[in-house]
Structure 1
Amino acid sequence: MSNIDFIQEEKAANIGNFMVGRLLPFRQKRSIGPFVFIDHMGPVCLADHENLDIGPHPHIGLSTLTYLFEGSIFHRDSIGSAMEIKPGAVNWMTAGKGVVHSERTPEYLRQKDKFMHGLQIWVALPKELEFIDPSFHHIEAADIPAWEKDGVSYKLIAGEAFAKKSPVPVHSKLYMIEIKNKDQEALIDIRGELYGESGLYILEGEIESNGFDYGPKQILITQDAHLCSFTMKPNTSVYIFGGEPFPEERFIFWNFVATQKETIEEAKKRWANHAFPQVPGDDGYVPLPLPRTKDE
């Protein structure tokens, strides 16, 4: 990608049994188009006594996108959705004015060794849709647009690009693209296919751009997606996120995203007072985090 504005290394943190790599946001860049949060989960092997158990927690003002490379997660939410997500499928949950959900290892895997690896993403809602009713959609892997060109495999996981449209019901102009090659180097020139801001995350392998090499767990960001061209070294997988940025700033606290700080303060009070709807079949509760100290 020419005219790279930012280069960010993935920052790992332990969350329960998982290593989670934070790709976005970071200090120099708070969003990429409408994308405001990207986490890389794993890869991790969980023993028969270890499981993913993220209890019921709230969201407002965003849509969440879960995309797995390996493993399985069972999603439940306060709308009444109950769905297992497997590799290649998409769980898309729009929080709007408020939703609560949990993410756990499915029952049939809880006593077995298992592997977990994937991406969890937040997409901010347009200001006029911040307070819409929550909704949930599951899109099977077979329904995601996929094609090959010059020995390179592409998937349009969400949004619009390459004159194609993913069935994921997004609320703004964006794209999330998977690009993989095998044992041959490949020049990728998609400058005419993208728009807005763009971030390229290297999951595995290596790319070359303007004479510089970049490896796994790096994200490259350009504020002009029309400059997106690079060379993929053999056996490389990359994910490209982007789209048209919103004109308004987004504030983020914990799982809340909003255009107004007052909206977040109200959501904090609602959660602390147990005023959000409950998740049928899951009576857990993740407490509101304590404020950070200056040393954190």
Structure 2
Amino acid sequence: MQSNIGLILEEKAADIGNFIVGRLLPFRQKRAVGPFVFIDHIKPTCLKDYQNMDVPPHPHIGLSTLTYLLEGSIFHRDSIGSAIEIKAGEVNWMTAGKGVVHSERTPEYLRRADKFLHGFQIWIGLPKELEQSEPSFHHIDKKEIPVWEEDGISYKLIAGEIVGKKSPVPVHSPLFFLEIKTSTAQKINIGEKLFGEVGMYVLDGTVKIEGNDYGTAQLLIAKNASLCEFETNGVTTLYLFGGEPFDEERFIYWNFVNSDKHLIEQAKINWKNQDVNAFPKIPGDDQDYVPLPEFPMHKKP
């Protein structure tokens, strides 16, 4: 029988300051899964009382960012005027459109205490007609996110729409970001409910697919979403994500994503020149910023 696993990608470690993330996308072999173009797994991290998360103001265009925390807390500020703390189980959804600036820092009341941080930071491409839209921001409380159980299997639909459920996260194209948890060995056949492209990331435990065991630190890409079937080994947490891919290629340079290279080049100039018409300052966090790095634009092979 031919395998439905089209690609197995090993998580790449990336140091972003006081903690390590596992980069799941993009890879040279696979630049996107559906509209998902970038996924970082913030590894479970204990930050000491003298360590804090401080990501200074930095820009985005042409994408939506999704932050989902399993542990800890981050304070988000942006050039739209949003200023809010995101805690475990909650979702921050920011749509950059034509341009937005945001910062992510440890909340003030935690800066002199030991704290934990664990979660996901994800970029999702925008449909071509929305790449130049006005920026927006939404915070979704954990009580609003659909959670249900079927046959001893726990599901949480963090974003998108699937199996008759819909997350309140205001996505802009057909997609899904689904958490699945089991406490005992389970056989799961969810393929008939999926669509487009699909990726699987095992956070804890292992899964068996076509007789082979797969564990953490791997991203599995299915050839056919409708054939997604697997078994968990017991206490397991995994994520399925994906959806309909775009017709046009998406280019990435640093924090800029777009189907038009010229808009990326203009964004680079605007940020380098600190053009406040293109990238306004963040109220309450405008004293520093992340400078534009110099490296080649990522492109699909």
Q: Is TM-score (shorter-chain normalized) higher than 0.5?
A: yes
Amino acid at match of 1:217: A
- 1:2–1:231 Cα change, 3 Å: farther
| Aligned match of 1:242 | 242
**CA offsets, 1:35-61, max 9 Å, x none?**
000000121100000000000000000
Amino acid at match of 1:288: L
**CA offsets, 1:92-138, max 9 Å, x none?**
00000000000000000000000110000000000011000000000
- 1:199–1:66 Cα change, 3 Å: same
CA distance in 2, matches of 1:227, 1:87: 32
Per-residue deviation at 1:2? Answer: 5.2
| Aligned match of 2:4 | 3
CA distance in 1, matches of 2:187, 2:295: 47
| Aligned match of 1:106 | 107
| Aligned match of 1:125 | 126
CA distance in 2, matches of 1:292, 1:178: 34
Per-residue deviation at 1:292? Answer: 5.6
TM-score after normalising by structure 2: 0.95
TM-score after normalising by structure 1: 0.97
CA distance in 2, matches of 1:8, 1:237: 18
Match of 2:283 among 265, 280, 283: 280
CA distance in 2, matches of 1:187, 1:162: 17
CA distance in 2, matches of 1:141, 1:188: 25
1:266 alignment partner, SS class: helix
| Aligned match of 2:266 | 266
CA distance in 2, matches of 1:140, 1:194: 25
| Aligned match of 2:293 | 289
| Aligned match of 1:229 | 229
2:264 alignment partner, SS class: helix
CA distance in 1, matches of 2:270, 2:256: 12
Per-residue deviation at 1:144? Answer: 0.2
CA distance in 2, matches of 1:75, 1:225: 34
**Any stretches of 5+ residues in structure 2 without a counterpart?**
none
Per-residue deviation at 1:64? Answer: 0.2
Residue 257 (structure 2) pairs with residue 254 (structure 1)? no
**CA offsets, 1:148-195, max 9 Å, x none?**
11111100100010111100000000000000011x101111011110
CA distance in 2, matches of 1:175, 1:90: 14
- 1:98–1:114 Cα change, 3 Å: same
Q: Is the 8 Å Cα contact of residues 2 and 229 (structure 1) preserved in structure 2?
A: no
| Aligned match of 1:180 | 181
Amino acid at match of 2:21: V
CA distance in 2, matches of 1:66, 1:117: 11
Larger CA deviation: 219-228 vs 111-120: 219-228
1:108 alignment partner, SS class: helix
- 1:40–1:156 Cα change, 3 Å: same
Q: Is the 8 Å Cα contact of residues 196 and 223 (structure 1) preserved in structure 2?
A: no
Per-residue deviation at 1:214? Answer: 0.2
Amino acid at match of 2:251: F
2:50 alignment partner, SS class: coil
Q: What value does the CA root-mean-square deviation take over the aligned residues? A: 1.2
| Aligned match of 2:80 | 79
Q: Is the 8 Å Cα contact of residues 253 and 296 (structure 2) preserved in structure 1?
A: no
1:192 alignment partner, SS class: helix
CA distance in 2, matches of 1:2, 1:35: 23
Residue 75 (structure 2) pairs with residue 55 (structure 1)? no
CA distance in 2, matches of 1:46, 1:292: 33
2:5 alignment partner, SS class: coil
